[in-house]
Structure 1
Amino acid sequence: MANELGYGQPMEGVAQTAFIVPDLQQAIAEWVRDMRAGPFFVLPSLLAPGQVYRGEESRADITLAMGFAGHMLIELIQPLDDNPSVYRETRQLRGYGFHHVGIACADVDASSRKYQARGYHEAYRAVVPTGGEVVYLDNGSGAARGFIELLPVTPAMDETFTRFWEASRDWDGSDPVRPFG
């Protein structure tokens, strides 16, 4: 596997920054207008099967958008319900805003074990549409500091995120909201 993703971020390094937002369309408009990020690719619902939150089954549904600011992938997440989840936990503790950094991993389970050996705990696990499972970790501070999300670098993930990045290069601001698929 290459040492970096197709959009230039390093393996085992920060590949994404994510924020919880109350209104996805409004958040996209603000990121496009104020930070010149985009375009954003929207997944209308992600009710992943087999979610596990703090050791218990979870059924949290979210809508999300991904877009780029330079080489940094920005993820905007709007919770669609109030089921127990890392999203609800963050909102209850400190409201909307920063949620996690995503770390690109060749092997999520092996990376999770390394973080756990350093005192981190698995807070959430779920299947993602680009293949594999993501794992959210915290070191006891949980949502107070933000989570680390271990991202499975699959061919579909790298192709999808690289496609989003390529769309952002020389983007003229038109068509700021696009379908994920």
Structure 2
Amino acid sequence: MVYLPSRNYMQIAWVVPDLHAAIEHWARQAGVGPFFYFDDVVYENAIYRGEPWQPVKFHAAIAQAGAMQIELIEQLEEGPSMFRELVPPGQSRLHHMSTYTDDFESDLAHYRKSGAEIVFSGLMKGAPVCWLDTTATLGFLTELITANPIKEQVFAIFKEAAANWDGDDPIRRL
């Protein structure tokens, strides 16, 4: 029997040059919102391309759009990162799609066996997360997000806010 990794793609992400402008475009043109803004994303035990990562400052925002989350990321300072690998400064481009997994280690092993290299790994709120280089085969990085109760609570807030959103107040904080 062939192992199939989580196919629960639940998020698609773009790196953008101006986070506020991108939120405005998504909200006004596509009707997606509200976006929850994060300005201090912290990863513990961060490893980038096999070396301890010296974090670069970036901001991100996430909104629910039907069954899919839309994530927008702006890298604020130059330096090596998983974001700059695919998107040069000043440009906007699809960066990654995320799967939500109940079996992080098995999914990671599957992707590694299929030839995907780990670009970035770390812990977010104690749960493993990583980006895998699937650009040659899928055209984007693949993020594995470990299912956990904290994420469930946060994702529920995104879903409820989107279901009741009237177009006002497109940027919020948790």
User: Per-residue displacement from partner, 1:47-66 (whole Å, max 9, x unpaired)?
Assistant: 42322111112123221000
In the alignment, the residues of structure 1 paired with residue 117 and residue 31 of structure 2 have an alpha-carbon distance, to the nearest angstrom, of 35
1:54 — aligned with what? 49
In the alignment, the residues of structure 2 paired with residue 139 and residue 173 of structure 1 have an alpha-carbon distance, to the nearest angstrom, of 35
Matched to 2:102, the amino acid is: A
In the alignment, the residues of structure 2 paired with residue 47 and residue 60 of structure 1 have an alpha-carbon distance, to the nearest angstrom, of 10
Counting only pairs closer than 5 Å after superposition, residues 28-43 of structure 1 correspond to structure 2 as 28-43=23-38
Pick aligned residue for 1:141 from 136, 145, 149: 136
Residue 111 of structure 1 aligns to a residue whose secondary structure is helix
In the alignment, the residues of structure 2 paired with residue 122 and residue 148 of structure 1 have an alpha-carbon distance, to the nearest angstrom, of 10
1:102 — aligned with what? 98
Check whether the contact 1:124–1:137 (CA below 8 A) recurs between aligned residues: yes
The gaps in structure 1 that reach 5 residues or longer are 1-10
User: Per-residue displacement from partner, 1:85-107 (whole Å, max 9, x unpaired)?
Assistant: 11111123994210000001113
Q: Normalising by the residue count of structure 1, what TM-score does the alignment of the two structures yield? A: 0.85
In the alignment, the residues of structure 1 paired with residue 90 and residue 24 of structure 2 have an alpha-carbon distance, to the nearest angstrom, of 23
Check whether the contact 2:17–2:91 (CA below 8 A) recurs between aligned residues: no
Check whether the contact 1:47–1:62 (CA below 8 A) recurs between aligned residues: no
Matched to 1:46, the amino acid is: V
Matched to 1:156, the amino acid is: I
User: Per-residue displacement from partner, 1:97-128 (whole Å, max 9, x unpaired)?
Assistant: 10000001113222111111111111111222
2:3 — aligned with what? none
Check whether the contact 2:17–2:89 (CA below 8 A) recurs between aligned residues: no
Check whether the contact 1:20–1:76 (CA below 8 A) recurs between aligned residues: yes
Q: Normalising by the residue count of structure 2, what TM-score does the alignment of the two structures yield? A: 0.88
Residue 44 of structure 2 aligns to a residue whose secondary structure is coil
Check whether the contact 2:127–2:146 (CA below 8 A) recurs between aligned residues: yes
1:152 — aligned with what? 146
Matched to 1:14, the amino acid is: Y
Inter-CA distance 172–134: structure 2 relative to 1 (3 Å threshold): same
Using the TM superposition, give the Cα deviation of residue 35 of structure 1 relative to its aligned residue in structure 2, in angstroms.
Answer: 0.6
User: Per-residue displacement from partner, 1:14-47 (whole Å, max 9, x unpaired)?
Assistant: 0100000111111111100011000000011224
Residue 38 of structure 1 aligns to a residue whose secondary structure is coil
Matched to 1:28, the amino acid is: I
RMSD: 2.1
In the alignment, the residues of structure 2 paired with residue 107 and residue 84 of structure 1 have an alpha-carbon distance, to the nearest angstrom, of 29
1:78 — aligned with what? 74
Using the TM superposition, give the Cα deviation of residue 140 of structure 1 relative to its aligned residue in structure 2, in angstroms.
Answer: 6.3
Equivalent pairs counted in the alignment come to 168
Inter-CA distance 74–139: structure 2 relative to 1 (3 Å threshold): closer
Sequence identity, in percent?
Answer: 32
2:60 — aligned with what? 64
Check whether the contact 1:47–1:60 (CA below 8 A) recurs between aligned residues: no
